[in-house]
Homo-oligomer: A and B are copies of this chain.
Amino acid sequence: MMAGVNADVQRLARQGLPEVVYAAGKTVAQVQAAVSALHAANGCVLATRVSPAVAAVLSTEGAVYDEISQVWSRGALPQMAEVAPVAVICAGTSDLPVAEEAARVLEFGGVEVLRVVDVGVAGLHRLLKRVEEIQRCSVVIVVAGMDGALPSVVGGLVRQPVIAVPTSVGYGASLQGIAALLTMLNSCAAGLAVVNIDNGFGAAVHALRILLGQGILK
């Protein structure tokens, strides 16, 4: 039979960030094997989409599990001491799991996070009173489902790179997040970049790539 899980233990050296275990669709044994190999190689490890049942099995000294975001981690990369926090903004309460996935991956990567919750565009005043705080961040991640309109508004209010994360929150014509994804790809605010639906992890890694590159001057 086919052998599985061929963890890329050298990715930290090659790319500055270690491989992260995507637990969905893997057996518990596969997750455990990958987690062990990566922790052994890198001294820290993070896994996403970890169900409570799998987290219970992985549970070990020093491990942290967050049920909302289904992120499991053990250890972390060293803090990037001089980097301003990344803002993680979300439109509604139901977007929290995705926003928190992004936040925890950022913290694992050594970056501070400014969480801004429940500031959907239907009540603009809630966002407007947080703008200055957000403008002091290094990168801005905006998480929204349903109409996905929040990143366009934020994109017009800040100069930072904005990463938009559509979520599958909604029903009917939200098409499991396709509506929000399309909104963000068509944003009238220039320079937004978009990741897959519910992909808080990907947004965080894009931000980490940006922050790791702060030193890449001529």
Q: Which residues of A does B touch, CB under 8 Å?
A: 1-6, 8, 11, 14-17, 20, 24-26, 30, 66, 68, 81-84, 90-94, 96, 99-100, 103, 115, 117-124, 126, 137-139, 146-149, 152-153, 155-163, 166, 168-199, 201-203, 205-206, 208-210, 212-214, 216-218
Extra inter-chain contacts (13) besides given A1-B66, A138-B213, A182-B182, CB under 8 Å: A6-B119, A6-B126, A121-B121, A121-B153, A121-B188, A122-B155, A124-B124, A124-B156, A147-B149, A190-B201, A191-B206, A194-B195, A210-B213
Q: What are 8 inter-chain pairs, A to B, with CB distance below 8 A?
A: A83-B217, A92-B188, A146-B187, A147-B183, A161-B210, A179-B179, A185-B195, A186-B196
Write out the residue numbers on chain B whose beta carbons fall within 8 Å of the beta carbon of A176: 172
Q: How many copies does the complex hold?
A: 8
Write out the residue numbers on chain B whose beta carbons fall within 8 Å of the beta carbon of A162: 209
Main secondary structure, interface of A, reads: mixed
User: Would B182 and A173 count as touching, CB distance under 8 A?
Assistant: yes
User: Would A202 and B190 count as touching, CB distance under 8 A?
Assistant: yes
Q: How far is A170 from B123 in the complex, measured between Cα atoms in Å? A: 27
User: Would B213 and A191 count as touching, CB distance under 8 A?
Assistant: no
Top 5 A-B pairs, shortest CB-CB distance: A172-B197, A193-B193, A191-B205, A6-B118, A149-B149
User: Would B159 and A96 count as touching, CB distance under 8 A?
Assistant: no
User: Would A185 and B196 count as touching, CB distance under 8 A?
Assistant: yes
Q: How far is A214 from B217 in the complex, measured between Cα atoms in Å? A: 9
Contact of A147 among B24, B157, B161, B187 (CB under 8 A): B187
User: Would A163 and B193 count as touching, CB distance under 8 A?
Assistant: yes
Write out the residue numbers on chain B whose beta carbons fall within 8 Å of the beta carbon of A5: 93, 118
User: Would A209 and B159 count as touching, CB distance under 8 A?
Assistant: yes
Write out the residue numbers on chain B whose beta carbons fall within 8 Å of the beta carbon of A184: 147
Q: Chain B nearest CB: distance from A2 CB in Å?
A: 5
User: Would B194 and A2 count as touching, CB distance under 8 A?
Assistant: no
Write out the residue numbers on chain B whose beta carbons fall within 8 Å of the beta carbon of A194: 185, 193-195
